[in-house]
Each structure stands twice: as structure tokens, then as C-alpha cells.
Chain A
Amino acid sequence: MTAVLLIEDDDRIRLSLTLALEDEGYTAYGAATAEDGLAEQRRVAADTVLVDLMLPGMDGYECIRQLRRDDDVPIVVISARDDTHDIVAALEAGADDYLIKPVAVKELAARLRALRRRTRAASTPALRVLTFGDLELRPEAGEVRRHGTEVPVTRTEFRLLCELADHAGQVLSREQLLDRVWGYEIGDERLVDVHVGRLRQKIEEVPGKPRHLVTVRGLGYKLQP
């Protein structure tokens, strides 16, 4: 049974979403504040965390950062805010996906399934090692090494990197990446851009002047040695 933690201050939303998610076959836990949510996650180690941005006390962005600090658990933001600024800030804090309220339960379930699929795919054992200059990627072990040292990446970042590595030297459009990494037929391209930015912070010598993960203007991204 997959466990989902919902951090949401609105009791009615928390209750209704918990009921709906249980209908969809998940074990749902709820928390009304970011502090409770962090404690709950340490206790239950849910497979996915859903976070609202406007929370009393610690806000959603800080909550995402703290969750990210000790966990690569997929984080999905569910917020009523739909300004580009808010979306990008949440993704930059470490969220994997962003949904705007009101979210249809079917849509939410589809997103969670997509996250689970890529999590499972990453944990199949094998021994491939892909090398890009100072970068070393072990897709089946879920490891990225730079100069031999392991770089901590989230599961979504890892999936994105593997997708680009599987098509090394080849340009993948944002649309293709959205489809292959997030499972969106049509989605928000900012998801890709922010995740690429986050990856560059971790794998590039100079994130502002990327050598490996380069942008091909008007087309998309590609990975090169």
C-alpha cells in the first residue's frame, strides 16, 4: 500500500482529500502544519508528500526545503496560488510537481501514479555506468558521482538526468521531457526548466555556464561530456 502525507491547514480540504485518496487505494496521513507534517514524515516515511503553500507558522516553501534536506521523497505542491512566481519558487525549493486547486481527484491520482512509476523504475538492479567527462551516472543504482564523489539528487532530478543520458548528445524538447519524466501529455514547461536549473546547481562546475547539461535555444536540452 502506498502511503501519502497531506500537509494542509484547511481541515475540510484535508479531510475530503484524505477520503478521496483512500478511495483511490492510498494510505493517507494528514498534518495541519508544516511542523506536524515534518514530524509525521519522520514517523511514517510516506512515499509521496502533498504540500499546501500557505500554512500557518512555517510556510510551504520552507517545509519543502526541510523535507528535501533529509529525503528525496517526491513532493507535490497543491496550492490555490497560480502566479508564475509562486510556482517557480516552490519548484526551486525542491518540489517535483505543482498542481493548482481545485485538483480533480482523478488528476491527482494520475500524478501520483506517474511519480511512483519513475520511483520504481529507478530501483531496478543492474550495473550500467554512463560517463560524461567528470560525471558518472549509474542509472540502476540511482547514483550520480562527480569527480568520484556522490552527488545527492532527488528522484525526479535523477530520472531527468537518466532520460537525457539515454539520449546523450541528442536534443530532447521540453515537451518530450515532460512526457517521459513527469508523465504529462500536456504540461507546464516550467517544471522542466526549474528542474534543469536545480540539476545544474549540483552537477556543473559553473551552473551559470553549463558544460554538460546545455540549453539548445528554441529546441530543448541535451547532455554532453
Chain B
Amino acid sequence: MRRAGLRTRVSAAFAVGALALSACVTVMSYELTRSTLLRERERTAVRSTYFDASAVDAGLARRNANVGDVLGSLDIGADRYVLVQRSGRWYARSADTDAHAAVPAALQEKAAGGQAAAQRVDRDGVPAVVVAVPLDEDTVFYEIVTLRELEQTLQLLALVLAAVATMMAAGGAAVGWYVTRHALRPLGWVADAARGIADGDLGTRLDPDTEPDLAPLTASFNHMADELTRRMQRDRRFAADVSHELRSPLQTLAAAVSVVDRRRDGLDERTAAAVGLITDEISRFQELVGDLLELARSDQPAQREATNIVELAARVVRTHRLGDDLVEITAGDDARTWDIDARRIEQALGNLVENAVRYGGGPVAVRVGPGFLEVDDAGPGVPEDLRSSIFDRFVRGPAANARGAGEGTGLGLAIVAEHAAAHGGSVSVTDRPGGGARFRIDLPEYQG
């Protein structure tokens, strides 16, 4: 499983902390409120029971008093039940004859011992207080006071407190999110700077003064960028030096061999064949040096400028001495001016056309679409397993190998891939419907 992000984790920690804290406070205040209210209610119940007990006692003292009638004369609300236990017999108001079932045995015992007592019970899921007041040796007055109202109040309180706790947790998460946003902002700057450098803007540096607490990070980042720039410049200088060092002897070879080549007719057959080989190899060597230098410099950012892509494609086709009618345009009028490095895209497209000429029996279409260029050929196509590696350096497809390693430099498609990548694009090869290969350059950022 993927690990949650730092921000998520910090926010979650804030939420959990806030929840724990508010839960503690909530539970404590709930318990405190509950016990206070219960005690208060119990005291009231005991007081009213004593009052009722004295009324019942007085009623029973009258001659021929009927216990039921005495109880019935009491003024009680819906939440109270009154009972009298006399000589082991229960008396109650006619409406609640079963009420005595709620009187716990322990309380009865206590009352039988002549002691007034109160006990909290649960009556059909509703908490209640049973108060026992002995009237004489074998008569006990009981009053059951249900706490339904209190229970409802406490439920409401619990609900409110739970809501508060939840809100506190959410608030904690929000604070965590907000705080981390501020704390992580410098990392965002670092990310932007790193992206800038990756995109080729080597001058990108972080300002060490904006966030003093992150000075070590900015310092090491800037040091890294300096170092990187220095190395890239050194590599580039090396490429330029190699260019000069290789090109000068090649120039001598090219000029000298042309002198010999001119006199080929006067040479014997074997020498002429050897001269022919040298001439061919020198021109391939020239191509190779050019391609290698192109690759060495390909990490440089694209020099974008507004370019008419249709004209560019037509120029490429003309350079290869192919008909203008080869170019198919599927891009609309608004998608014909591309913001690209014209030289590099021209070379990339040129290499694809060259590839089709050499190994694909010639291109059958050069297509210009919105943000993509395609070159179709009628050759043998590229096998599935070679379709990504064919863009690697010095990798040749079977069609190229069949013609011997003497053809091409093995770098043409690698250059296409590099140029496409320098524009934030990509290159791919698929089967052309109807046979042959379809090479495609995608430039999603073609409109700047």
C-alpha cells in the first residue's frame, strides 16, 4: 500500500490529537453533569417520598382505611409510582399493579429492618429511583420515580458533546492542513527550482534569505545546481573539442580522398575498389560524427519559435527529393503554426523520412496532424519486441541489419527521440494499416 503523504499524516495526527482531547473533556463533563443531575433528582425524589409517606401514614391511621384508596388520593405525576407493602402484601394504585416487581429485594430487606433507603434501578430500560420509607413494623411505603426526563436531557447533552468533539477533530485536521501548507511551501519552491533545472534552465537558484530555517537546504540545493551546471558546461566543451578534433582530420581525409577518387579511372581495379571503399566510409564517418555531436548536444533546451509546420514538412520532403504530394495535412488552419525548435524538428522528421527511404522502401505518406507528425512506409515494419529499443543508440532493426552494418549510423532514430524529448514530446512506432511501419512524433506542447 502506498504510504500517505506527509501533509495527510500531519493533518491526521492533528485530528486524532484534537479528537482525543475533546473526547476526554466531553466524557468528563458528561459524567460530572450526569452524576450531579442524578444526585439532585434523587434528593428531590426522597423528599417527595417522605412527604407522600406522611400523607399515606396519616391516611392509613384512619379507621377502615382502604390502602388502594389512600394511595389513589395521592397527587402524583406520570413519572411516579407509589406502593405499599403491608404484611407481605403489595398494594398499588389500580393502574400499576405490577409496579412492585421493580422494587429490588435488597431494598425490601433494608426497609423491613425499619430503615428508610433509596436505590437506583433500571425499570424496563428506563432508569428510576426507588425510595422506601417504613411506616410501621409491617408496613413500608415505596415510591418509584422514573428518570425519563433526565435521561432525555442527558441524551441530548451527549449528542451535543459528541458533535462538539467531532467538530474539534475536524478543526484539528484543518489546522494541520493549513500549518503544513505553510511549512511545506519552501519544499514547493525547491520542487519548482528542480523542475526548472531539469527543463534546462540552469540558472535557477533558491534565494537563501526567504526562509532562514531552511538555509542548509537552500545552500546544498544551490551547490548542487552549481555543480551540475559546471559539469554540463564541461561536457559541452568536451563535445565542442571532440567536434574540432574529429572534424579536422576528417576534412583532410575528405579532401585528399576526392583527389584520389578523381583519378580512379587511371587506377588498377583493386586500387580503385579500395579507393571506393575509403570514399564511402569517409562519408559515413562524417555522418557518424555529425550524429554523435547532435546527440551530445541534445540535452540542450529547445530554442522554440513560431514555425509553419506545413512548410517545414514540405521542405523535408523536398530535401529528400520526394514529391510534395507525399505530405498529408490533417491539422486545421489554427494548428499549423507550431512553437518549436525548427532546426531540430526538421532534423527529426528528416531522419524519419531518411529511415523510410533506407529501410522501408520509401515513405508512402508524411502526415502533419495537430501536435503530431507521422511517416508511413511500405517496408517490413518493426517487430513488436523492438518497438521501444529501436530508438536506442546503435540499435538497428532487422531491415537495417539485412542491408549490413554499412548503412546508416545507427543514431538517426535516437536523435529523433532526443529532439522529441527536448520538446516534451515522444516518438513511437506502430504498424501501418495495410502493411509497413508508422513512425510518429507526438509534441503535446506544440502550441507553446
Chain A residues with a Cβ under 8 A of chain B: 10, 12-13, 15-17, 19-20, 23, 54, 78, 80-83, 100-106, 175, 185-186, 218
Task: Select the stretch in B159-167, B205-213, B254-262, B393-401 that faces chain A.
Answer: B254-262
A17 CB contacts on chain B under 8 angstroms: 251, 255
Interface contact B259-A16, CB-CB below 8 Å: yes
Among A20, A54, A106, which residue has its beta carbon within 8 angstroms of that of B259?
Answer: A20
Known: A54-B244, A83-B240, A102-B286. A218 touches B308 (CB 8 A): yes
How distant is B281 from chain A, measured CB to nearest CB, in Å? Answer: 13
Most A C-beta atoms less than 10 A away, residue of B243, B251, B319: B251
Given A80-B248, A101-B248, the answer on whether A13 and B243 have CB atoms closer than 8 Å is no
B-to-A contact residues, CB < 8 Å: 240, 243-244, 247-256, 258-259, 262, 283, 286, 289, 293, 306, 308, 315, 318-319, 337
> In whole angstroms, what is the CA distance A54 to B243 when docked?
13
B315 touches A13 (CB 8 A): no
Given contacts A81-B244, A83-B240, A186-B319, contact A102 B254 (CB under 8 A): yes
SS of B interface (majority): helix
Q: Are B262 and A218 in contact (CB under 8 A)?
A: no
Q: Report the minimum CB–CB distance from A131 to chain B (whole Å).
A: 34
Contact (Cβ within 8 A) B315 A175: yes
A23 in contact with B258 (CB, 8 Å): yes
Q: Which residue in chain A gives the minimum CB-CB distance to B294?
A: A82
Contact partner, B247, options A102, A105, A185, Cβ 8 Å: A102
CB distance from A212 to the nearest CB of B (A): 25
Q: Which residues of chain B are within 8 angstroms of A81 by Cβ–Cβ distance?
A: 240, 243-244
B366 to chain A, nearest CB (A): 16
With A13-B251, A16-B255: A186-B318 Cβ-Cβ less than 8 Å: yes
7 A-B pairs with least C-beta separation: A16-B255, A80-B247, A102-B250, A105-B258, A102-B251, A16-B256, A80-B244
Contacts of A100 in B (CB 8 A): 247
| Given known contacts A80-B243, A82-B243, A23 and B251 CB-to-CB distance under 8 angstroms | no
Residues on the A chain within 8 Å of B318, using CB = 185-186
Asked if residues A23 and B244 are in contact (CB atoms below 8 Å), the reply is: no
A16: chain B residues within 8 A (beta carbon): 251-253, 255-256, 259
Measured CB to CB, the nearest residue on chain A to B243 is A80
Which residues on the A side are within 8 Å of B249 (C-beta)? Answer: 12
Query: B289: which A residues are within 8 A, CB to CB?
Result: 102
Question: What residues on A are CB-neighbors of B315 within 8 Å?
Answer: 175, 186
